[in-house]
Structure 1
């Protein structure tokens, strides 16, 4: 009697046993299900797949079932199904879908922050879906990361310039100076860790029972070592199990109060960590406009392409400030010692009632009181000032024109007042200070 496997969906039927009696039982089951649910099997779109079945039995099964014979490989729920290990070409659909999505969005006009949202919520979902079922080759993962990186910095599929920040830094949590994206290779391993967890707790899944019958055969999962004769996929899963071995013991997820394994927890266990940065809450907070936060994030990484930075990486260029023409254009000059920038920051500082910093945003942050509403207002103002100064610098470079500081600050303050009236209506310790801001 051959191994029976059944998979039933709206338009797909698989059974591989090879005797007519079993097919009759399956068909009666589907009929009973149809009476109970009102759903019917679409025989015209359903296939039967055979393995080692005699031709005369094949004919009987096809006639009784009313379905047609299918052939491997085929696609099920958007992924390829075959009896051998997938090759690089089999993963082409995931690459094509990501590239097609980028071409269809027409996203070159989006800000960095807008592209970041699309990468996290749209492009990464294709990889996450495949990662729960397959071990993606390193070349495929590298191509996916390259496409996402190119899209972030240039809005397209290909990008010939050097990225402003390395991808491994971008794939760190925001608290560690990154953008909160996931490392695709580590996420793939964490997704496989879910399967290792199911085996560990002996989950009530047909696949787990098959694994125990075929591979483990009564052996302890945590002590099990695969042999060289086992499949490549199984050996990779055992490697992930060993990497996560210290995190679950005796059916309990360690260090998380016995909670069940999740891919997110597995990812945090497997990824490499970095020291937390001091400016996280200044850049990423609930009140700052996302595109302002992204430019402020670039500032704190010293990744803005000022003339001094371009000279440092080997590009021959004059280092004189585009805006004032007096002094070398580095971050400190552009944002704090340039007369244009100093006037913008001075006007905003006077409106807020805090002193003008002489060097660096962190110095301004030290002056921020710790009351929540006041901190939110000043954080938003700092990030808006950084964004607008950088915007004016690029406008001066590409269009040879510059907006007067009074006009720029009037727009920033008007936006802040509108946001304060809409968002900070509750009573707080800063009520009097907030009222004075709106009256100025």
Structure 2
């Protein structure tokens, strides 16, 4: 307590009055404030939950075992509960798990588009779709399918861990087909796409 008026201070510069410059200096030491922002392309043909999830996953913000450990939780085992081959982070859950690879292979076969391999990140996968030599319509469909696939893979991971439910890769791909078709029908003007067209992935570009 003192007879002086109260003043704002920044804890890293306690001997100086508060100023924005000191805040920026502190942040500049801990963050790359010139780094490019997450250039995620939102797709309104996929569900809001799935797009938000993928946006967070790109920056490892989903509660994977590795992320939870980084937040201070004490976990005895950080390995993937589905394949057990590696530590469970966002990229492993969505792209690199052995089970997940089989799902992506099925998606690639269905859409005739090369989906991820071991070297891909989520950002690279989505960018490769947006830059592929297909019509704008097909690119947006493939983008929505990829987002929906990652969301369903995350839900499958949670069902396996918390409910003991185990589904085959074929069951996952069928859910991807059904939910992504519903999304395109409900959220775009292409509501006349038939289930057979979708299953054959046969459209007039």
TM-score (norm 1): 0.33
Closer/same/farther in 2, CA of residues 319 and 288 from structure 1, 3 Å limit: same
Rounded to whole Å, the distance in 2 between the matches of 1:275 and 1:295 is 20
Q: Once the two structures are superposed, what CA deviation does each residue of 1:212-234 show, in whole Å capped at 9, x if it has no partner?
A: xxxxxxxxxxxxxxxxxxxxxxx
Name the residue aligned to 1:388: 152
Name the residue aligned to 1:401: 165
Shift of 1:420: 4.9
Rounded to whole Å, the distance in 2 between the matches of 1:357 and 1:321 is 19
Name the residue aligned to 1:337: 96
Higher strand share: 1
Is this contact kept in 2: 1:373–1:424, CA < 8 A? Answer: no
Shift of 1:436: 4.6
Query: What is the number of equivalent residue pairs in this alignment?
Result: 158
Shift of 1:285: 2.1
- Residue of 71, 84, 87 corresponding to 1:328: 87
- Larger Rg: 1 or 2? 1
Closer/same/farther in 2, CA of residues 425 and 287 from structure 1, 3 Å limit: closer
- Residue of 403, 414, 419 corresponding to 2:178: 414
Is this contact kept in 2: 1:322–1:397, CA < 8 A? Answer: yes
Shift of 1:421: 5.9
Q: Higher relative contact order by CA 8 Å / sep ≥ 6: 1 or 2?
A: 2
Name the residue aligned to 1:292: 50
Shift of 1:410: 0.6
Is this contact kept in 2: 1:417–1:437, CA < 8 A? Answer: no
Is this contact kept in 2: 1:307–1:329, CA < 8 A? Answer: yes
Closer/same/farther in 2, CA of residues 401 and 435 from structure 1, 3 Å limit: closer
CA root-mean-square deviation: 2.8
Rounded to whole Å, the distance in 1 between the matches of 2:175 and 2:198 is 18
1:303 corresponds to 2:67:
no
Q: Once the two structures are superposed, what CA deviation does each residue of 1:392-419 show, in whole Å capped at 9, x if it has no partner?
A: 1111111122221111111211333455
- Residue of 373, 385, 394 corresponding to 2:137: 373
Name the residue aligned to 1:191: none
Structure 1 gap ranges (5+): 1-273, 427-432
Q: Once the two structures are superposed, what CA deviation does each residue of 1:53-105 show, in whole Å capped at 9, x if it has no partner?
A: xxxxxxxxxxxxxxxxxxxxxxxxxxxxxxxxxxxxxxxxxxxxxxxxxxxxx
Shift of 1:303: 0.6
Name the residue aligned to 1:363: 124
Closer/same/farther in 2, CA of residues 402 and 275 from structure 1, 3 Å limit: same
